[in-house]
Amino acid sequence: MKQIFALFLLTIISAVPSLSQAQMLSPQDSGTGLQPIDRIVAVVEDDVILQSELNDAVAAIQQQYASQPGQLPPIDVLRRQVLDRLVLMKLQLQRADDQGVRVSDADVDQAVQNVAAQNKMSPDQLHAAVEQSGLSYTAFRQQLHDQLVVQKLHQSVVRDSVSVTDSEINNLLNSPSYKAGEVHLAHIQVSIPSGAGPADIQSAQNKAEQALAAIKGGMDFKAAAIRFSDAPDALDGGDLGWRRMDEVPPAFVDTIDNMKSGEVSGILRGPTGFHIVQLLGQRAPSKQMVTEYHARQILIRPSELISADQAQQKAQDLYNRIVNKHQDFAKLAKDNSSDDTTANAGGDMGWFQQGDWGSLVGQKVDELKDGEVSQPFQSEAGWHIIQRLGTRSSDMTTQVARDQARQAIGNRKADQAYEDFLRELRSSSYVKILVPELQGSADTDTKVAS
């Protein structure tokens, strides 16, 4: 699932004050002092979507594209797209609740800090910006909460259904179709509903052909994605970001590999519908050189027999014996270290990359010179004394390629697994659109009999 926080704040804090009431007044009511009446626009299982919710969500999208209003489709199409997104969000939240997915206040607090940091703000500045936008801070936190719930649901769905074997990695890397490097892609996806018949497939193909014709006629690809795509990222212009070539579905690799930056593909048939892809950029693979460190350590861990203060004092005494009395580090480590993995080797940690032993240990090792011994420092594991023995630059291209291949295969499987989950969720749930002008061609009461 794409990271949601980068654009989330932009959408929220840049939104104009709520347009829901103004948009719900009819022209003859405007200025008469009559109170607007909210209405239910959709029933989603045992929940509802109100007109005010839809209006606020549409207003936020319109504000997001305020500088490029021509990118947006006609307002009736935009409302249907936004409503579909709201429906899918409701269904995911309901399923998450059924499965016992929970998000704590501490999780939301951390998300607030992340959003603030990404936008170069303090949490207090973020709070003020949200309030200034016309959105209540409570509503902002609720939206963050809901996004976190959906992320956890995504993780739970793909956790048990996605695994990657060494043979799959080998097959990918040895495949004649394997391509290295990265590509920046945008796409338009015209989905075929579950259980589609020939008429549904033809309708989807016709829509894809309309999208391609519009692009060839001069429509910006981003605008075409917003107007025609059924993908969840349609309102983001279909931007998929940078992806390694091994993350691209195999059926599309040859097409993309023969494209130039800015070029648009023809209509590609995939397992869930029809696709049009634009290549926005590409990067060649590079050699992966990393710095490795060789070090040894003594770890003094507090226990039932040694208090935290005693552990700190013992670490300080050992440091003095090493630095001031020049006693043998290896012997002291073997006799005193609490780290079972290194103590018998005289504290030798072997060669490792900076983050392999945790960020704090990596930071301390990086700050040392070869042969230098650190002052005792505390981590969650206990009190450490580190001596850096050496550094080297290693070519990790092969290992990085394998790691990336594992991740690419996993991501591809996860994307497909969650897409299948969403299609099943939507087709098996009761969803009734109550406003005729908001109904699409496939909007009928749906519920798979149990």
For residues 118 and 6, the answer to whether their CB atoms sit within 8 Å is: yes
Boundary (domain end) residue, out of 395, 412, 435: 395
Backbone angles phi, psi at 156, to 5 degrees: -70, -35
For residues 41 and 172, the answer to whether their CB atoms sit within 8 Å is: no
- 61 and 206, same domain (yes or no): no
| Mean pLDDT, residues 78-82 taken together | 90
Q: Which two tokens stand for residue 211?
A: 């999208």
| Mean pLDDT, residues 308-336 taken together | 96
- 349 and 272, same domain (yes or no): no
Which range of residues forms the domain containing residue 129?
5-26+36-159
**Confidence band (pLDDT; 50, 70, 90) for 249?**
confident
Q: Which two tokens stand for residue 216?
A: 């060839």
Check residue 22 and give its pLDDT: 33
19 is a domain residue: yes
For 11-63, the pLDDT digits (tens) are 443 333 333 333 333 334 444 444 556 899 999 999 999 999 899 889 888 88
Does this model's pTM top 0.85? My answer is no
108 is a domain residue: yes
Check residue 45 and give its pLDDT: 94
Q: Which range is least confidently modeled, 4-18, 133-147, 395-409?
A: 4-18
- 272 and 337, same domain (yes or no): no
186 is a domain residue: yes
Q: Which two tokens stand for residue 364?
A: 């301390």
Q: Give 333's contacts (C-beta < 8 A, 6+ positions apart).
A: 296, 297, 298, 342, 343, 346, 347
What CATH number is attached to the domain comprising 114? Answer: 1.10.4030.10
386 is a domain residue: yes
- Per DSSP, 126 falls in state H
340 is a domain residue: yes
What CATH number is attached to the domain comprising 200? Answer: 3.10.50.40
- 132 and 234, same domain (yes or no): no
414 is a domain residue: no
- 150 and 194, same domain (yes or no): no
Q: Which range is least confidently modeled, 98-107, 209-218, 245-254, 372-381?
A: 245-254
Q: Which two tokens stand for residue 437?
A: 């002008």
- 258 and 304, same domain (yes or no): no
- 20 and 42, same domain (yes or no): yes
- 255 and 133, same domain (yes or no): no
CB atoms within 10 A of CB 357: 21
Residue 241, Cα to own-chain centre: how many angstroms?
A: 11
User: 415 or 445, which is more confident?
Assistant: 415
| Whether the predicted pLDDT of 177 surpasses 80 | no
| Mean pLDDT, residues 84-111 taken together | 93
- 215 and 332, same domain (yes or no): no
404 is a domain residue: no
| Mean pLDDT, residues 238-251 taken together | 83
Check residue 64 and give its pLDDT: 79
| Whether the predicted pLDDT of 193 surpasses 90 | no
Check residue 8 and give its pLDDT: 43
CB atoms within 10 A of CB 163: 10
**Confidence band (pLDDT; 50, 70, 90) for 250?**
confident
| Interatomic CA distance for residues 444 and 422, integer angstroms | 17
- 351 and 388, same domain (yes or no): yes
User: 208 or 56, which is more confident?
Assistant: 208
| Mean pLDDT, residues 279-304 taken together | 90
Check residue 202 and give its pLDDT: 92
**Confidence band (pLDDT; 50, 70, 90) for 272?**
confident
- 95 and 210, same domain (yes or no): no
- Domains held by the chain: number: 3
| Mean pLDDT, residues 103-111 taken together | 92
Q: Which residues pair with 42 in a beta bridge?
A: 49, 433
Boundary (domain end) residue, out of 284, 300, 327: 284
For 344-359, the pLDDT digits (tens) are 999 999 999 998 999 8
Check residue 288 and give its pLDDT: 77
- How many residues would you count in the chain? 450
176 is a domain residue: no
- 153 and 9, same domain (yes or no): yes
| Average pLDDT, rounded, for the chain | 85
